[in-house]
Chains A and B, each alone.
Chain A
Amino acid sequence: MSAETHEGVHRHPAPTSFIRKYIFSIDHKVIGIQYIMLALAAVVVGMTMSLLMRLNLSWPGTSWPILETLFPTGAPGGVMTPEFYLSLVTMHGTIMVFFVLTTAPQGGFGNYFLPIQIGAEDMAFPVLNMLSFWVTLVGFIVILLAIFVEGNASLGQAFSALGPSFAGGSGTVGPIGGWTGYAPLSALGKIAGPGQGAGMNLWVISIAIFCVGSLLGALNFITTLLNMRTKGMTLMRMPLTCWAWFTTAVLALLSFPVLLGGGILLLLDRIAGTSFFIPSGLYVSGLLSGSNPNFPLHTGGSPILWQHLFWFFGHPEVYIAILPGMGATSHILATFARKPVFGYRAMVFAIFAIGLLGFFVWGHHMFISGMSPYSAIAFSVLTLSIGVPSAVKTFNWLGTLWGSRIRFTTAMLFALGFVSLFVAGGITGLILGQSSLDLAMHDTYIVTAHFHLVMGVASIFGMFAALYFWFPKMFGRMMNEGLGRIHFWITFIGVYTIFVPMHIMGIVGMPRRYSSFGEYEFLKTLHPLVLLVSVAAVITILAQVIFYFNVFWSIFKGKKASDNPWEATTLEWTTSTPPPHDNFAGVLPTVYHGPYEFAVPGAPNDFIMQTDAGAEVPDGHGHNGNKH
């Protein structure tokens, strides 16, 4: 594409009305903040649900009057029912994975900073960008509706007018199926029990909507990065954040369509009587398929097909959640270590290798699903090999710290926390990736511990680091460092206290998604650990109030930020704070150096901006194919 064409595409005048400026904005910066606000709202819902789950596991049978007020059918007398608990499991997972871990890292920070870091005025398709946010928001509203259509009898009644599959009000707070929604439980409709009616329809519809939003976003990211880099911004001069967002967008582009397709088929099974995932001869809740109008004839479907479609998306999704965190961590580590990223090229290859291998390992979720035992072996060995680029990244982070001069800002603390948690969570993949060990480990708490640490908590730490780091650029004010540190200490110790004991529970054999452990003798010895985890969870969740206070207080009352408060090198720090509507006030920057020129011998400062035309960096260390 010629320079002429893409200028025409993205240049647009600054909006004047409030609505065009802050609501239906096509400015990537406003859209980025909208995504982050969406994630900040969604994470409150998801976290509240985890709090309720921990209360139920450690203090079963206790009455929580507030629950009865909110969900009279789901928690009669304020006591959670098993189906209430299982719907919490489902909604917690779905909201966290889709509306938190996929929105903030990519749609939020990626949207805001990718165009600025490559020296572009906006995304390639600003209107499409606006659409992807609003589509995603609709998806979020639909998933919230799924909570209340099941939890509120009168709303459930209203929805049942849409047809038998839309019967709601089953006394849950959403569908029951886990975030994986395995068929045929998720495909059969209300005959399969509570939480299988309208809530499940809305769950599928919400995910399908979300897929569309993410797909639009991915197209935009890829086009923008490939076409709109400013003069001198070669690929190998891009910050590692941009490599991470780019790879994430490619993963999203290739994986979300598969889930979208799967979701549509699942919805058809539920409302149109098809049988993509429902085999013949099922006998559910006392009825034979085809023998009764409440349970139409199904024949010929494959439950495992859903798992293949889901995990073909679901495994890349793990990397969609964590790659932006890796990018942010590399970026922030270098900035506050005052040292170039160690092994920039190796880091880029590792991101690519993780992205590529991420598409060939989905079967490790399915070793015991009944698929071919031979394919399990291939998936297993490939899974272990994905540990190699992950380890390479860790070595390079440590290499970056070696010989550095670390400034312990809150952003740096969270980036260091990311490294620690990524190792702790990722390394147990060596256990779970082995087909033999999966015979014992599958669907126990060690799986819960593993993916929460690595894709949940490590990703969130990456986002905390990113927010503390970029907040001054986004809002023109600094966040409070003192509160930030308190937030870090409690959260860092808290998440380890929550998730390390869960590994032990898994080794003992505690199954996931149980609303109570009281039925089994072999689980009774674990009670002290269950209690410890719950207490740690309550404290850690409460500590997030400090974070929310810090964010919203700092937006209005924080100390004013300068243009480059961290003495960083990349393009977002060359423009004013916050950046003008077109990012660079009409003059696109020219790039002369790689992104992480810290501590260059002989230079007047310990950092060289990418735009610094006069500075000299030693040969071969600018990642520069074409020196200006």
Chain B
Amino acid sequence: MGRVLAVIIWTITLLSVLLFVAGKWWFPEAISEHAPALDRQFLITILVVGISFTAAQIGLGWMVWKYRDTGSSSDRATYSHGSNRLEVVWTVITAIVFISLGVMGQSVWASLRLHDAPAGSYSVEVVAQQFQWNFHYAGKDGKPGRTDPKFIDDGTLNFIGLDATDPAGADDAVTSALAIPVNRPVELRLRSKDVIHNFWVPQLRFKQDLVPGMEIKVHFTANRVGKYELACAELCGQLHFKMKSYMLVLPEEEIQQLQGLAQEQFQAKMAELLNKYPLPTYK
């Protein structure tokens, strides 16, 4: 029985490790400036995880193989209540490894979250609502129009409650897909109209909740042109799984072309760009 269990534990361990190192399924290719550092930290961590997991399972298998009661010998188990020296050794070693990992694991977070977006960032307001994304772009004046929930009217497509009397909003555009420039810091001002949603683009390695009653500012820099799927990653109700949009990362000139356009032309241009860029191919 001991040998069967040992072999099964080792087989499970081998197959589990193989599934991870096979490379058939892994992160989608990264498209943000912070992603390589995050991926590296992930790799270091999963190496520690993988080595600890494998070592513990091999050890466990070895114990049940070697120390099974064969029934033939009358000798007893080793009488030992432990070893203080060993306790100290493994406590100190794991503390050093785990806490170092924990400290290293703060650097990407700190670089993204502990300071505001750099000056000159491209700023978009994101307003989520049940099963739909709205992206609010300031016009040429660079100033987004004032919004208020009391002006929200889904019937007239004023999803975010733009105040028609505010001149700053006259040249604004609101679309259901996100367009951002490549290689330039982007600031998103995240809001929600109803319940909590979450902005999630796997290629960005970036997630943030959109919380009703709060405006949460986040920033990142995308560094590869293309079209990417944008998903909601916080349970928001019935059609959560369908709350999908796209994020376009565009060359600066295409962003400039968009920026001058009035609502209808903006939407038409977005439709054209969404057609122009294909999704990444997934193996």
Contact = CB atoms under 8 A, between A and B. Distances in A.
A438 B41 CA distance: 11
B194 A283 contact: yes
Contacts of A618: 79
Contact of B67 (A176, A381, A402): A402
B82 A380 contact: no
Interface residues of A, number: 126
Interface in A333-377: 337-346, 367-370, 373-374, 376-377
Contact of A380 (B53, B60, B91, B102): B102
Interface stretch (B170-178, B227-235, B262-270): B227-235
A401 B99 contact: no
Interface string A431-449: 1011111111011100000
A489 B27 CA distance: 33
Interface in B223-271: 229, 231-242, 244
A230 to B, nearest CB: 23
A82 interface: yes
Interface in B74-96: 76-83, 86-87, 90-91, 94-95
A511 B90 contact: no
A184 B95 CA distance: 39
Interface in B107-143: 107-110, 112-114, 129-130
B148 to A, nearest CB: 8
Contacts of B202: 440, 508-509, 522
Contact of B200 (A302, A511, A515, A601): A511
B45 A519 contact: no
B282 A521 contact: yes
B38 interface: yes
B79 A601 contact: yes
A192 to B, nearest CB: 6
A218 interface: no
A308 interface: no
Nearest to B41: A436
Given A343-B83, A408-B5, A493-B8, A606 B76 contact: yes
Interface of A: 82-83, 86, 89, 176-178, 182, 184-185, 188, 192-196, 279-286, 288-289, 301-304, 337-346, 367-370, 373-374, 376-377, 380-381, 383-385, 387-388, 391-392, 394-396, 398-399, 401-408, 413, 416, 419-420, 423-424, 427-428, 430-431, 433-440, 442-444, 485, 489, 492-493, 496, 500-501, 503-505, 507-509, 511-517, 519-522, 524-526, 529, 598-601, 606, 618, 621
Interface of B: 1-2, 5, 8-9, 12, 15-16, 19-20, 25-28, 37-38, 41-42, 45-46, 48-49, 52-53, 56-57, 59-60, 63-64, 67-69, 76-83, 86-87, 90-91, 94-95, 98-99, 101-103, 105-110, 112-114, 129-130, 148-150, 152, 154, 161, 193-196, 198, 200, 202, 205-209, 211-214, 216, 229, 231-242, 244, 279-280, 282-283
13 contacts: A177-B235, A304-B211, A340-B82, A392-B90, A392-B91, A395-B86, A398-B56, A401-B64, A433-B105, A434-B109, A503-B20, A599-B78, A621-B81
